């Protein structure tokens, strides 16, 4: 823990002298956007926002802060949904200007990118080189690779390609004392001891500052077909998933679900979006098949599989996108869902995972429990059903006061997370712990695992200056940061 008296003015002078005044922002008007998270749930404060341009400047900034005992909160695109990038004192270290694509290695099928690269620009660079970088999130136009790594981001293509851990071969990291670990190896095999990169991936800025990464590339998808289907229940959706996974094998790239409530609020708030099916159904699935084979007949395969599902009563209605524009319109329905929920008043969000085999049961049990607890509550369950990851969000009853509803957040956490835990699931599937789930983690994480996590934190960051008060360190551990 940082204990020495902090001469913050001297630190700002040192940083300004080395990084330049444009890289050390201190005016309220310049730093305001870095102090709040995307949903406005938390308002932080900071001495300054640092905007280094390269690795050496990051190392200098971290070393200087470490010597002064000043906390550092790394930030990329600030699209995180758990308050992990919100500072409570100390400095924000924005990686946004480390935005170079360093190298595309065609034979190795890897791309080396800096932490501040916007995810979309990495997808585009891979595409220009004739490859696919498959990580895909609704925030891809603004989130950064460093943030994707620090949160072990998932998204819509995890089913086929895995999350950020599976997509990463090497990392470059500035450690809490300013030393640089160059782990930028593009090796598919390296059994020389502990896998250090996987400590930093998913550590939400609490163990080191990620400055660059070597990422895996894949053959481009040359054929793709998208379908939207209506089903009588989440159990039927799950059966459709099982069928497609068995018959389409690794051509099944995405399998997303949403409840009727989700589709209805999209159509209400996006009047230009066409209703995909003529009637309403309790649950929907958005399905994508893709292949790197140019002559793969995915259209026929999709038609056959959905036809069988219709005959067996698993599916009530289905539409297959007949053009790229139609497929994109179907995907937009899914991508808009997070945004339109905001327009329905307060929402209490749970990003949870259970074994795929229990995901329909989870939706049913948790929906029943929440509706029984608060009549009129509107359950918005959607997400990556093929990964067992459901965003189990609760919209306030129409007539209820928003703040009275949000005051029940912890109460609903207990209901939903207890059900998740009873199914051997996880209380955070893809967004992380940050601030929002800090108090939840000790309830559900194995105590031995928590103990190991705390020992790793103490070893890599003995002063507790890297994103203190998040994930495993509490406010009580980090008075200097609050």
Where does this chain bind ligand FAD (CB under 6 A)?
Answer: 38, 73-81, 84-85, 95, 115, 137-139, 143-144, 146-148, 150-151, 153-155, 204-205, 209-210, 338, 430-431, 434, 467
Would you mind telling me the total number of residues written for the chain in this entry? 482
Which sign does the torsion angle of CA 350, 352, 354, 357 carry? positive
User: CA 185 to CA 218: how far, in whole Å?
Assistant: 18
Q: Which residue has the closest beta carbon to ligand FAD?
A: 147
User: CA 117 to CA 459: how far, in whole Å?
Assistant: 29
- 228 contacts 279 by C-beta, under 8 angstroms: no
Which sign does the torsion angle of CA 212, 202, 147, 32 carry? negative
Three-class DSSP category at 73: strand
User: CA 375 to CA 156: how far, in whole Å?
Assistant: 32
Q: Which residue lies nearer to ligand FAD by CB, 44 or 76?
A: 76
How far does the chain reach from its first CA to its final CA, in angstroms?
A: 12
CB atoms within 10 A of CB 244: 23
In the DSSP assignment, the letter for residue 87 is -
Q: Which residue lies nearer to ligand FAD by CB, 116 or 309?
A: 116
Q: Which residue lies nearer to ligand FAD by CB, 291 or 478?
A: 478
Q: Which residue lies nearer to ligand FAD by CB, 115 or 302?
A: 115
Q: Which residue lies nearer to ligand FAD by CB, 80 or 425?
A: 80
Note the Cα 117 to chain centre separation in Å: 16
What is the smallest separation between the CB atom of 281 and ligand FAD, expressed in angstroms?
23
What is the smallest separation between the CB atom of 159 and ligand FAD, expressed in angstroms?
12
Q: Which residue lies nearer to ligand FAD by CB, 283 or 382?
A: 382
Residue with tokens 């971290």: 62
What is the smallest separation between the CB atom of 312 and ligand FAD, expressed in angstroms?
31
What is the smallest separation between the CB atom of 386 and ligand FAD, expressed in angstroms?
13
Q: Which residue lies nearer to ligand FAD by CB, 73 or 176?
A: 73
What is the smallest separation between the CB atom of 278 and ligand FAD, expressed in angstroms?
29
What is the smallest separation between the CB atom of 427 and ligand FAD, expressed in angstroms?
15
What is the smallest separation between the CB atom of 81 and ligand FAD, expressed in angstroms?
5
Q: Which helix (DSSP H) or strand (DSSP E) does residue 352 occupy?
A: strand 351-353
Q: Which residue lies nearer to ligand FAD by CB, 170 or 205?
A: 205
- In the numeric block, which tokens belong to residue 197? 């990169």
- 386 contacts 337 by C-beta, under 8 angstroms: no
What is the smallest separation between the CB atom of 467 and ligand FAD, expressed in angstroms?
5
């Amino acid at each position: 823990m940082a204990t020495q008296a902090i001469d913050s003015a001297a630190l700002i002078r040192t940083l300004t002298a080395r990084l330049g005044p444009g890289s050390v922002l201190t005016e309220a008007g310049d730093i305001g956007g870095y102090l709040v998270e995307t949903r406005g749930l938390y308002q932080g404060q900071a001495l300054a926002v640092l905007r280094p341009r390269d690795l050496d400047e990051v190392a200098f900034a971290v070393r200087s802060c470490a010597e002064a005992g000043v906390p550092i909160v790394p930030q990329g695109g600030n699209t995180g949904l758990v308050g992990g990038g919100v500072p409570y004192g100390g400095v924000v270290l924005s990686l946004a200007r480390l935005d170079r694509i360093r190298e595309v290695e065609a034979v190795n099928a890897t791309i080396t990118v800096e932490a501040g690269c916007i995810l979309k620009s990495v997808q585009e660079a891979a595409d220009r080189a004739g490859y696919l970088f498959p990580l895909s999130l609704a925030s891809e136009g603004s989130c950064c690779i460093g943030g994707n790594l620090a949160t072990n981001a998932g998204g819509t293509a995890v089913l086929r390609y895995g999350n950020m851990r599976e997509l990463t071969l090497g990392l470059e990291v500035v450690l809490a004392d300013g030393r640089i670990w160059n782990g930028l190896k593009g090796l598919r095999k390296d059994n020389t001891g502990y896998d250090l990169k996987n400590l930093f991936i998913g550590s939400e800025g609490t163990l080191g500052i990620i400055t660059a990464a070597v990422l895996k590339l894949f053959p481009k998808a040359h054929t793709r077909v998208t379908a939207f289907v209506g089903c009588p229940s989440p159990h039927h959706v799950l059966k459709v998933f099982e069928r497609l996974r068995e018959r389409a094998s690794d051509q099944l790239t995405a399998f997303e679900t949403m409840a009727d409530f989700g589709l209805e609020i999209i159509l209400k708030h996006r009047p230009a979006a066409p209703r995909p099916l003529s009637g309403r159904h309790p649950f929907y699935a958005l399905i994508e098949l893709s292949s790197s084979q140019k002559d793969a007949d995915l259209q026929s395969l999709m038609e056959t599989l959905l036809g069988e599902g219709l005959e067996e009563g698993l599916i009530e209605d289905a539409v297959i996108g007949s053009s790229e524009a139609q497929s994109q319109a179907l995907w937009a329905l899914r991508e808009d869902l997070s945004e339109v929920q905001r327009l329905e008043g307060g929402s209490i969000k749970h990003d949870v995972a259970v074994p795929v085999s229990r995901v329909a049961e989870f939706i049913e049990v948790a929906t029943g429990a929440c509706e029984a607890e608060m009549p009129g509550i509107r359950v918005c369950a959607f997400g990556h059903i093929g990964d067992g990851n459901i965003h189990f969000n609760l919209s306030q009853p129409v007539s209820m006061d928003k703040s009275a509803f949000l005051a029940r957040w912890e109460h609903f956490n207990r209901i939903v997370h207890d059900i998740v835990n009873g199914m051997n699931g996880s209380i955070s599937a893809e967004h992380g712990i940050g601030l929002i789930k800090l108090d939840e983690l000790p309830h559900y994480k194995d105590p031995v695992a928590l103990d190991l996590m705390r020992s790793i934190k103490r070893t890599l960051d003995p002063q507790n200056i890297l994103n203190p008060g998040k994930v495993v360190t509490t406010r009580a551990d980090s008075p200097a940061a609050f």
